[in-house]
């Protein structure tokens, strides 16, 4: 440990300089996690307890260039990423202008992540006996100085814990109502294994036949999203 602490940050990062972007994922260490996630779910080795998980609409806004690409760059990135599937992707997300490309970049990022979330839930469902509840948080936290961040990474946290008062923002009645709903869901899930309770919008458990998610925002309601063509594309691309 002392030798590691003595190394400079430049030395530690040297092996990854120029390498592809870092991919985040579980580390199979042979102790805590004995196999990859796909295998764990396929064999039913996971802890089979109710699951509540989800994503924020604008997770990608933490990175520079979110929603500001050019049409040419967007098409080139599609060809690099999807190869012979690129034209199919560009049919789903047309980008005839730079403005179109920015919107397509955001929408494709949201929908691609949503399909990946549903694929994870589907793998789990193959061997699990307990339910999973998925959410999609799409409410842009009030931040007049930075509207470009939208529903950014961790933006749901003040609502989950109903502690809006700890953050100086121009909260509205919509924010306070959403915080009440979300914190009620989380408390109910922690105590009963389901977010559902009288007085709350019904939150259906995920099933592969009806891959609905609870959209948490100005109007919280379950939706089947994205549409079937988009789902098929990303399922094919991810396999």
Query: How large is the average pLDDT for residues 60-72?
Result: 88
pLDDT in tens, 139-196: 999 999 999 999 999 999 999 999 999 999 999 999 999 999 999 999 999 999 999 9
CB-based contact 185:204 (threshold 8 Å): no
Q: What angle do CA 41, 196, 152 make, to 5 degrees?
A: 70
Distance CA 182, CA 159 (A): 6
| Nearby residues of 107 by Cβ (< 8 Å), 6 or more positions away | 93
Question: Could you state, in order of their start, the residue ranges of all structural domains in the chain?
Answer: 50-238
Q: Which CATH class is domain 50-238?
A: alpha beta
pLDDT in tens, 15-54: 655 555 556 677 888 888 888 888 989 999 999 999 999 9
Q: What is the pTM of this model?
A: 0.86
């Amino acid at each position: 440990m002392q030798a590691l602490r003595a190394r400079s940050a430049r030395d530690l990062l040297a092996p990854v300089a120029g390498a592809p972007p870092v991919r985040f994922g579980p580390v199979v260490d042979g102790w805590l996690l004995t196999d990859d996630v796909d295998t764990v779910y396929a064999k039913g080795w996971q802890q089979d307890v109710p699951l509540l998980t989800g994503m924020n609409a604008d997770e990608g806004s933490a990175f520079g260039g979110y929603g500001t690409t050019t049409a040419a760059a967007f098409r080139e990135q599609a060809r690099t990423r999807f190869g012979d599937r690129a034209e199919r992707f560009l049919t789903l997300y047309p980008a005839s202008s730079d403005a179109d490309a920015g919107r397509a970049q955001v929408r494709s990022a949201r929908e691609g992540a949503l399909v990946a979330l549903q694929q994870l839930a589907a793998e789990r469902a193959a061997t699990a006996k307990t339910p999973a509840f998925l959410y999609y948080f799409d409410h842009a936290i009030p931040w007049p100085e930075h509207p470009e961040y939208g529903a950014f990474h961790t933006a749901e946290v003040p609502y989950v814990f109903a502690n809006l008062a700890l953050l100086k923002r121009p909260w509205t009645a919509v924010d306070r109502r959403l915080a009440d709903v979300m914190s009620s869901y989380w408390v109910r899930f922690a105590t009963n294994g389901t977010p559902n309770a009288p007085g709350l919008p019904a939150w259906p458990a995920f099933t592969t036949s009806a891959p609905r998610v609870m959209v948490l925002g100005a109007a919280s309601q379950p939706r089947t999203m994205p549409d079937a063509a988009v789902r098929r594309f990303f399922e094919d691309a991810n396999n």
